C-alpha cells in the first residue's frame, strides 16, 4: 500500500492507495465539538497547515458500550475529532456517483468505520463512498432549552454540504448523491427527506430498516443544561448519558426532535411531496427484525410490553382487528415478537411507502426474508448489501455462510440504485405494490406489505 494525496479547500489530506481504490479516514467537515461547541450547531472546519494524515481511523462519538456483544463490531477510538468523514473512491478519476452512509446504533452507538461498512466494495464498482461520523446520544440528540435541537441531524447536513463542496476532489459527482442508512441511520434518511436545510443536497435515498420513533424525545430534568454539561466536560456528559439509560430502561432515550427548522413535521408525513418530490427512495427491512427480543421478556410482561410498543408507535385503532386475526394460531411470544417487529420497523416501511405512493413519488420496497442460519433478523441484510460476507463477525452473526449469488444480487441492487436511481426491479406502485423478497432465490411478491398495511395503514387500499 502507498500514500494517496488529495487537496481540498481546507488543506491537503494523505490517505492510502489500495491499488484499485483510495481510502481516507477522518477528514474533518467541521470543527471539533468541544468546549462552547459541544452543544452548538456544527462549525465549518477552518483550513489547516501542511498535510493531514488520513490513513488511520479518527475518533468515534461513541464513548460508552451498553451492548456487550453487538452484531456489528463497534470500535471506540478516543479523541475529539468526531465530526469527520471516511472516503473510499475509485483509483481512476471521473464523475462517479456518490453514496453517503449514515450508520445506525440507536442514536447512541456506532461509527463511520465499522468493519461491515467497507466502502471499497462499492468503490470497485465505480462509486465514491462517504461514511459520516456525527454526534450521538446526549451531545447529538438530547433536547436542551439552551442549545439547538437535533445537533446530530445538523451534523448530517454539514457532512452533505461538505460532499457538495469537496467530493469532486475524489472523482465524485456532487449532482449524483445518494444518502443511505440503516436502523437509526435509516430513520436519519427519512428525516432528511423532509428537512428543508437538506433540500438539494442529495438526489436519491436508501432507508434500510428505518427506525422512526413516534413518541416524544426524552427531555432532561430542568436542572440539567447544555451549558452545565459542557462546563463539566466529557465525564459529566458520560455520567448524564448513563443516568438517562437507567431512567429509560424500556425505551430509547435518544432520537430526532420533531418541530423546528430541521424536522418541521412528522418524518413519515414529510417523506413525500414538498422538498422530497421526485427523489427516488429505496426502503425495506428484514422479515424478523427484533422478534427474538420477545424470548427475553418475562411472561407477565409480554402483553403489556407489546401494548406499550404498539401504542407508542401510534397503532391505529381500526388495525386492532387485523392484528388479532394475524395472531390467531401463533404462540403468545411469536405474536408479541411480530408486534415488536412491526411497531419498531415494519410499520415505518409501510407508512413511508404508502405516503409516497399517494404522492406519486418513485419508491422501491424490499423484504430481506432469507431464512438461512439465524434468520432475517436486524442487521442481517447488511453484509449482503455491502458485499462483505467475510467481514468481522459476519458468519457468526448470520449463523452460516452467506450464499454468494444472493450477496451479488443484493449488492448489485444498491449499485444500480446509486448509479441510475433504479434497483433493477419494479417500483412499489398502487397497482401492484410489488416488493422484492430477498431470499435464495429472490422473487417479486405482489402486495408484499399487505399484512403490515392491514394493521398499521388500514385506510390504504
Map 343-408 to HEC letters: HHHHHHHHHHHHHHHHHCCCEEEEEECCCCCCCCCCCCCHHHHCCCCCCCCHHHHHCCCCCHHHHH
- Reported as type and span, the H/E element at residue 86 is strand 84-90
CB 184 within 8 A of CB 384: no
DSSP state of 220: P
Q: Determine the straight-line distance between the first and last CA of the chain, rounded to whole angstroms.
A: 56
Angle between helices 184-193 and 151-166 (to 10 degrees): 70
Preceding amide of 441 cis, omega within 30: yes
- Residues ≥6 apart with Cβ < 8 Å to 444: 425, 426, 434, 435, 436, 437
Task: In the chain, count H helices and then E strands.
Answer: 14, 13
CB 388 within 8 A of CB 122: no
- How far apart (Å, rounded) are the C-alpha atoms in residues 135 and 44? 15
Q: State the sign of the Cα–Cα–Cα–Cα dihedral 143, 148, 153, 155.
A: negative
DSSP state of 245: H
CB 16 within 8 A of CB 3: yes
Q: Cα-flanking dihedrals φ and ψ of residue 380, to 5°?
A: -65, -20
- Exposure string of 343-364, with b = 16+ CB inside 10 Å and e = fewer, is bbbbbbbbbbbbbbbeeebbbb
Positions marked active-site: 183, 289, 378
Angle between helices 320-327 and 332-341 (to 10 degrees): 140
Map 26-66 to HEC letters: EEECECCCCHHHCCCCCCECCCCCCEEECCCCCCCCCCCCC
Q: Which residues pair with 98 in a beta bridge?
A: 128, 177
Amino acid at each position: 500500500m502507498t500514500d494517496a494525496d488529495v487537496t481540498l479547500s481546507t488543506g491537503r489530506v494523505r490517505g492510502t492507495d489500495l491499488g484499485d481504490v483510495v481510502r481516507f479516514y477522518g477528514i474533518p467537515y467541521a470543527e471539533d465539538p468541544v468546549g462552547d461547541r459541544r452543544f452548538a450547531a456544527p462549525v465549518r472546519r477552518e483550513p489547516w497547515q501542511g498535510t493531514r494524515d488520513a490513513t488511520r481511523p479518527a475518533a468515534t462519538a461513541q464513548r460508552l458500550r451498553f451492548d456487550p456483544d453487538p452484531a456489528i463490531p463497534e470500535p471506540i477510538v478516543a479523541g475529539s475529532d468526531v465530526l469527520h468523514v471516511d472516503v473510499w473512491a475509485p483509483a481512476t478519476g471521473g464523475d462517479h456517483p456518490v453514496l453517503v452512509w449514515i450508520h445506525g446504533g440507536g442514536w447512541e452507538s456506532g461509527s463511520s468505520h465499522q468493519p461491515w461498512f467497507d466502502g471499497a466494495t462499492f468503490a470497485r464498482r465505480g462509486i465514491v463512498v462517504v461514511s459520516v461520523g456525527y454526534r450521538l446520544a446526549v451531545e447529538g440528540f438530547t433536547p436542551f432549552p439552551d442549545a439547538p435541537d437535533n445537533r446530530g441531524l445538523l451534523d448530517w447536513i454539514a457532512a452533505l454540504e461538505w460532499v457538495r463542496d469537496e467530493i469532486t476532489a475524489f472523482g465524485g459527482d456532487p449532482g449524483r448523491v445518494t444518502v443511505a442508512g440503516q436502523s437509526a441511520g435509516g430513520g436519519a434518511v427519512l428525516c432528511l427527506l423532509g428537512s428543508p436545510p437538506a433540500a438539494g443536497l442529495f438526489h436519491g435515498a436508501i432507508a434500510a430498516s428505518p427506525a422512526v420513533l413516534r413518541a416524544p424525545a426524552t427531555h432532561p430534568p430542568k436542572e440539567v443544561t447544555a451549558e452545565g454539561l459542557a462546563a463539566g466536560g466529557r465525564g459529566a456528559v458520560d455520567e448524564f448519558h448513563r443516568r438517562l439509560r437507567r431512567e429509560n430502561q424500556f425505551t430509547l432515550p435518544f432520537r430526532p426532535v420533531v418541530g423546528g427548522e430541521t424536522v418541521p413535521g412528522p418524518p413519515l408525513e414529510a417523506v413525500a411531496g414538498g422538498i422530497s418530490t421526485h427523489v427516488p427512495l429505496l426502503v425495506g427491512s428484514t422479515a424478523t427484525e427484533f422478534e427474538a427480543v420477545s424470548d427475553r421478556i418475562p411472561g407477565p410482561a409480554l402483553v403489556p410490553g407489546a401494548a406499550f410498543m404498539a401504542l407508542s408507535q401510534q397503532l391505529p385503532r381500526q388495525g386492532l382487528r387485523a392484528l388479532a386475526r394475524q395472531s390467531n394460531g401463533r404462540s403468545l411470544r411469536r405474536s408479541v415478537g411480530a408486534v415488536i417487529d412491526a411497531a419498531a420497523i415494519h410499520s415505518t416501511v409501510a407508512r413511508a411507502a404508502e405516503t409516497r405512493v399517494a404522492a406519486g413519488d418513485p419508491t422501491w420496497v424490499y423484504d430481506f426474508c432469507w431464512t438461512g442460519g439465524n434468520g432475517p433478523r436486524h442487521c442481517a441484510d447488511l453484509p449482503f448489501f455491502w458485499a462483505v460476507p467475510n467481514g468481522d463477525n459476519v458468519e457468526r452473526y448470520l449463523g452460516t455462510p452467506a450464499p454468494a449469488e444472493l450477496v451479488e444480487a443484493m449488492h448489485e441492487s444498491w449499485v444500480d440504485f446509486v448509479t441510475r436511481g433504479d434497483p433493477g426491479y419494479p417500483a412499489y406502485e398502487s397497482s401492484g405494490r410489488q416488493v422484492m423478497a430477498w431470499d435464495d432465490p429472490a422473487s417479486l411478491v405482489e402486495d408484499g406489505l399487505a399484512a403490515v398495511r392491514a394493521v398499521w395503514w388500514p385506510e390504504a387500499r
